[in-house]
Structure 1
Amino acid sequence: MSLNQAQRYEIRALNAAKIPPKNIALQLKVHKSTIYRELNRGGGRQHYDPVKSQERADLLAATSHLHYDYDEDDWKIVDGKIKEDYSPEQVNGRAKLDGMGVPSVATIYRHVNKDEDLKKHLRHGKKPYRKRGEKKDKRGQIVGRVPIEERPAIVDEKSRVGDIEIDLINSADHDANLLTINDRMTNYSLIRYLPTKNAKDLKRTLVRALKDFEKTFEVKILTITSDNGKEFACHAEIAKAMKADYYFANPYHSWERGANENMNGLIRQYLPKKESFKGISPRKVRWIQDKLNNRPRKRLDFMTPLEYIYTQVITTNLSRVSDENPPNNKARDCLLLHVSMVLL
């Protein structure tokens, strides 16, 4: 639903009065997702600007009927990038960065799907591209799911410990699974073996792992984000047990859990897709987990996730010790060793 200028000023007033978005939606008689999107697009809850938001809406309305006619040279550029294994989104984003006119992501997908040679260069060539919010999506049948659009904007900033992403990796013969868990800010990883995809078994394993994480680092799990697999059907029970908010990414939008997808790719370095890991030993799972947590990351200025979470959380906890008993290096080293060994 489109909002008008008067409604946008009303949103600013109600937001400034700290009225929850859901209540703002009720007052304006619009869906709550409309308000969440409007606030996110207009600068977030703390910096929402109705003037800029209205200007953006006016510009979109004025140009929505305009369609650029791409010529053969434009498509040659697109085809060249696809053959370099760029995704349609990467082609689109890179072209915009370089100041070039470029088809939309959906248009590029339609173009690629007409050419079998180009389709081979997509990471998931056999999987159809689905537009966000497509109604006939068979994976969107989880009761009570809360969409990622309603997740607080601060989660995207990766500025706090406790925003978690989770997923399940399947064994080659679909006879075993690995539950993968990562903290968005620190890239700290947890891996747990699951013999089945049973939702209740996953719930128990996940809650146990997250509670261990909270206890070890003295932090609070704030949000959990997963895909729409039926194995996450017990999401409400997980959220209640952890006293956290649970959100679902959109189907076929794996980039909305980018950190977790990257983690899964790193795990595949040790457990290739064609390899069965049924009956894998806890020691091997722990070894892979330690490999990931002691691997330098460019995003962390080449610190390891273990080092980074230590500097972000453990140092804060140690600083609570009174000045009369400052933490020494030996205490710090013992604590760091404890961190690396506790999370089984």
Structure 2
Amino acid sequence: MNFLHSTISTHLKGKHLSFENHVTIQVLHSQGQSLRQIARTISCSPTTIKNELERGQKSLYRGKHFRYDAPTAQERYQAQRRNCGRKCDFIAKSRFIAYVEQHFFNDDWSLDACVGEALATGKFTRDEIVCTKTLYCYVELGLIKIKPSDLPELLTRNLKSKRVRVNKRKLGRSIDERPRDILKRWEFGHWECDLVLGHKTKDDQVLLTLYERMTRKFMIIPIKDKTAASVMTAFNDLRKQYSEHWNDIFKTITTDNGSEFADLSQLEQVSKTLVYYAHPYTSCDKGGVERHNRMIRRFIPKGKYIKDYTLEQIYAIEEWCNNLPRKILAYHTPDELFERRLDCIYQIN
């Protein structure tokens, strides 16, 4: 055979069989050649020939006989190619997309909170939604109204070099003395504490923030200034609010070594609450409250006067944080879990 003028098409490795390959298989198979002979001619594996002969069978004489047919094999190949690959569910699941956009813009929910809450409450079934990762892909592709610039965490991540400072005062009991079980978040009543500043002037208000590690409950308490006296006044008012249940709700408080918390250890003299101070310049020791402080910055940017915001606006921020479904809480809200714990404490007492 003169290979320069041969009509037998060869198969390229890694490519699908073409219609010419199907015709070659039909001709050589009708001549009685073996699988290996056909495979050697087309330059493919004998297993490929075997599978192709099974897929391209056409029934003859009312299903009594079967024969490999090249057009039939090509039609089935094209049908399988149309069904292969991942399909975009954007149009089919437009109702869920509208639900996500509504909660994202109106309630400031994250994309993951929208997915988790929809499944947890039964508003949508698994087949009616797309996963969180797919939603972020839709944002990048511009398929939905949410833009990458609308995602508050997208452009705020900044990796800073680690700095070790040793000349920092220690105000009380170190966090090293805190029980290790607190890190597991199995027990209720362990809090983290911090301050959020507005404009760097002495005549502006300050926000005292508290974060419960188990339920993720977040409290925002406006105080008049950044002094130890103002901080202690806020804690004394809070202790009066919970009265005899204070020791069960506030078992420990972890804070930093700022001068505004210098008198916080006085709580140990009037209650069973233990106060722990984080390592110097180590904000990750109380990462929960730090993370929630960043959520406040979505509404009160740095440099803005806190005194320009009303109590209703500040408490609205607190309410939003506590009513946001959390993935780590199985898409329950911090308020739900906190109220359950309070009910248990009140019933026992």
* Structure-2-length-normalised TM-score: 0.50
Whole-Å separation in 2 of the counterparts to 1:217 and 1:284: 27
* Contact residue 221 and residue 242 of structure 1 kept, 8 A: no
* Contact residue 178 and residue 193 of structure 1 kept, 8 A: yes
* Contact residue 194 and residue 255 of structure 2 kept, 8 A: yes
1:305 aligns with 2:334: yes
| Matching residue's letter, 2:292 | M
Give unmatched runs, 5+ long, in structure 2: 1-154
The Cα of 1:245 is off from its aligned counterpart by 0.9
One of 250, 274, 282 as aligned partner of 2:279: 250
Whole-Å separation in 2 of the counterparts to 1:210 and 1:224: 13
Whole-Å separation in 2 of the counterparts to 1:165 and 1:247: 9
The Cα of 1:313 is off from its aligned counterpart by 3.8
Percent identical among aligned pairs is 27
Deviations 1:67-92 (A, max 9, x none): xxxxxxxxxxxxxxxxxxxxxxxxxx
Whole-Å separation in 2 of the counterparts to 1:228 and 1:124: 23
Whole-Å separation in 2 of the counterparts to 1:209 and 1:258: 23
Tell me the residue number matched to 2:303: 274
One of 176, 183, 188 as aligned partner of 1:156: 183
* Pair 1:291–1:232, CA change in 2 (3 A): same
Whole-Å separation in 2 of the counterparts to 1:316 and 1:246: 21
One of 277, 285, 293 as aligned partner of 1:264: 293
Classify the secondary structure of the residue corresponding to 1:173.
Answer: coil
What are the within-5 Å matches in structure 2 for residues 99-178 of structure 1?
Answer: 123=158, 125=160, 129-131=162-164, 134-136=165-167, 140-143=168-171, 145-174=172-201, 175-178=204-207
Deviations 1:32-89 (A, max 9, x none): xxxxxxxxxxxxxxxxxxxxxxxxxxxxxxxxxxxxxxxxxxxxxxxxxxxxxxxxxx
What are the within-5 Å matches in structure 2 for residues 173-212 of structure 1?
Answer: 173-174=200-201, 175-212=204-241
| Matching residue's letter, 1:310 | E
Classify the secondary structure of the residue corresponding to 2:315.
Answer: helix
The Cα of 1:259 is off from its aligned counterpart by 0.9
Q: What is the Cα-based RMSD across aligned positions, in Å?
A: 2.7
The Cα of 1:124 is off from its aligned counterpart by 7.1
Whole-Å separation in 1 of the counterparts to 2:235 and 2:309: 18
Question: How many residues are aligned here?
Answer: 193
Whole-Å separation in 2 of the counterparts to 1:164 and 1:192: 14
The Cα of 1:217 is off from its aligned counterpart by 8.6
Whole-Å separation in 1 of the counterparts to 2:294 and 2:278: 18
Whole-Å separation in 2 of the counterparts to 1:217 and 1:237: 15
* Structure-1-length-normalised TM-score: 0.51
The Cα of 1:296 is off from its aligned counterpart by 1.0
Whole-Å separation in 2 of the counterparts to 1:178 and 1:273: 13
What are the within-5 Å matches in structure 2 for residues 289-300 of structure 1?
Answer: 289-300=318-329
* Contact residue 205 and residue 223 of structure 2 kept, 8 A: yes
Give unmatched runs, 5+ long, in structure 1: 1-119, 322-344
Classify the secondary structure of the residue corresponding to 1:296.
Answer: coil
Deviations 1:163-199 (A, max 9, x none): 1110000003343210001111111111111221110
* Contact residue 130 and residue 251 of structure 1 kept, 8 A: no
* Pair 1:210–1:264, CA change in 2 (3 A): farther
CA radius of gyration, larger in: 2
Whole-Å separation in 1 of the counterparts to 2:274 and 2:195: 19
Classify the secondary structure of the residue corresponding to 2:249.
Answer: coil
| Matching residue's letter, 2:179 | P
The Cα of 1:269 is off from its aligned counterpart by 1.4
Whole-Å separation in 2 of the counterparts to 1:317 and 1:257: 28
